[in-house]
Structure 1
């Protein structure tokens, strides 16, 4: 039986700026099961990273969780004290951030940064923590880890720094690892190595992974289930095979048309999604994709509910309302 690890219910997150309230996340609900790899995809500004930070209690001012609940193993994380967050964050729930160079302290050796995390959460001695750090670097494919722990971040390549971040995140054996664009700004060869590393993680442990990306190719290689976000909302969710071969939402269909297909060749025509994402300072009351959707009709000025596309697959689109009239 599938074990439910984390549940997000009607989460809303806003940032209060001089220009007004930026409604970054607008009432999303989803879950992550133990051991699964969930892809969270969408264009920049769709709310992916804000959702991840909300899960870990890391929304910075002027941001604020407006409403909703984040439930971990049956217990709500809403409103818990920072001391309790420090026990959970990095221990049961861990995150690999987008840019390892800004996440690592440039003036501290890699070993010191890793052992600090291990000692805080696992209560090991300095020598025991160092052994764990060395073994962690070895597990993510860093050669000569005994020497590498005495080096500084600038002595590592971009791909190596990303491996260090993954090793650090895994050092306390978390149940959920959130990886925010872990292959961004890496060359294709290093990207493949990082993805292989994530696949090995899934095979060798029961760690669940939430992989945040705009790259559908990455999702196809690593994930078992996908959430498609747009305008701070979830447009569609389902198994990878369903999303790629039977997409129910016009936005998902547009994303798939805009990426190269394997074997497509240099003459393959990619079709971009026309227009721009909605302004979340003044978001549309109905479907957020309405202004860019080739199938939009009068009903779209109302926000659609989630409709069942198939077993385990849902999409937020009035075209799926069998009892309605598309007007086409």
Structure 2
């Protein structure tokens, strides 16, 4: 599979009165053409900041302080601002978490859709309106010829999210970044939106970076998983490898916290004790050390990445053959798959 996106040592900080908050501290991953990659982790792990950094959407006092974001070999972070603005929407598009705040409440849906289309495609008003109606119909909006002239508040949450997907895909971008696109939706609508995204991206061959805290969603639609914590990638691998044989204790903890659908059994959920690290003063060693049941003196030093197999890496000293053996969770993958459906 040809590589579309390659992120190398991405670093993003926020410079506050109290000091530098290092939200993303050296994140690297890649996305192939037509691939859907999930980025998971607790709130505050750096997922959304990393995603917005790919588009250069870090407002002051934030700043991307290092790294590369290579889209087909071109470093997006080195582009002049006019070229970067032109690339947003045309080459890379983003679906934000809350469509009600992402859409302008005083402008009609059609106005917002046609503005995006006319900005990135050389078409007139009439053609832009026709394309906007076609995309509304494509994402499942009933009576698009009528609803294109309505305001965001006249749409339900699920319908607003469909409008956001239409807006993001209307210029057929090479890469789509979806930042928790189903968080505010009920389970039934969530399933519909995920199915819609997977179908449309398959039709257009658009690659997807899906930001979520829901492991069931990842199991349902993604091919690879990036697990983030404390501004770093803790583990990365194929969906099957991550869910059936997790190598990092943090990944194992996330999977243990998923409710299991086991008939006739009642079990308590296993939580991860403690709190995420303070990234104003990030630990020098493994950021998960204070919460890890296998922590040892060596964890005071940040480990390199170890590969348990090609394409499956983890940032943990347990994988170097020393200390305690890593204990894969045989039940974890099946629990997540039960919750989110079959892995692709």
Normalised by the length of structure 1, the TM-score is: 0.97
Counterparts in 2 of 1:158-237, with a 5 A limit? 158-237=157-236
Deviation at 1:263, TM superposition (A): 4.2
CA displacement, residues 224-249 of structure 1 (integer Å, 9 cap, x when unaligned): 00000000000000000000000000
Give the whole-Å Cα distance in 2 for the aligned partners of 1:198 and 1:262: 26
Kept in 1, the 8 Å contact 2:274–2:291? The answer is yes
Please report how far the alpha carbon of residue 325 of structure 1 lies from its aligned counterpart in structure 2 after TM superposition.
Answer: 4.2
Matched ranges for 1:90-169 at <5 A: 90-169=89-168
Could you report, residue by residue, the CA deviation over 1:119-154 in whole angstroms, capped at 9, with x for unpaired residues?
010011111011110111111111111111000000
User: Structure 1 residue 183: deviation in Å?
Assistant: 0.5
Q: Which runs of 5+ in 1 are unaligned?
A: none
Structure 2 match to 1:276: 275
- What is residue 318 of structure 1 aligned with on the other side? 317
Structure 1 contact 304–317 (Cα < 8 Å) conserved: yes
* 2:342 alignment counterpart: none
Structure 2 counterpart of 1:48: 47
Structure 1 residue 79: deviation in Å? 2.8
* Residues 158 and 229 (structure 1), Cα distance of their counterparts in 2 relative to 1, 3 Å cut: same
Does residue 1:73 correspond to 2:37, yes or no?
no
* Distance in 1 (alpha carbons) for counterparts of 2:202 and 2:106: 35
Q: Post-superposition, which runs of at least 4 consecutive aligned residues in structure 1 deviate over 4 A?
A: 263-266, 325-328
CA distance in 2, matches of 1:215, 1:186: 13
Pair 1:148–1:68, CA change in 2 (3 A): same
Aligned to 1:294: 293
1:31 paired residue number: 30
Deviation sequence 1:139-174 (CA, Å, 0-9, x none): 111111111100000000111101100100000000
Query: Normalising to structure 2: TM-score of the pair?
Result: 0.92
1:305 aligns with 2:304: yes
Distance 1:141 1:264, change over 3 A: farther
Q: Report if aligned partners of 1:40, 1:229 keep a CA contact under 8 Å in 2.
A: yes
Q: How far off its partner does 1:81 sit?
A: 1.4
Alpha-carbon distance in structure 1 between the residues aligned to 2:264 and 2:16: 45
Equivalent position SS for 1:10: strand
Contact 1:4/1:32 (8 A) holds in 2 = yes
Matched with 1:84 is 83
**How far apart, in 1, do the equivalents of 2:182 and 2:246 lie?**
25
* Aligned-residue RMSD, C-alpha: 1.4
Match of 2:332 in 1: none
CA contact (8 A) 2:318 2:325 kept: no
Change (3 A) 1:266 1:215: farther
User: SS at 1:78's partner residue?
Assistant: helix
| Cα displacement (A) at 1:204 | 1.9
Deviation of 1:259 (Å): 1.0
Report the Cα offset of residue 191 of structure 1. Answer: 0.7
Shift, 1:18, TM fit = 1.4
CA–CA separation in structure 2 for the residues paired with 1:45 and 1:105: 27
Q: Which moved more, 1:290-299 or 1:266-275?
A: 266-275
Stretches of structure 2 lacking an aligned partner (at least 5 in a row): 327-344
Are the equivalent residues in 2 in contact too, given 1:38–1:224 (CA < 8 A)? Answer: yes
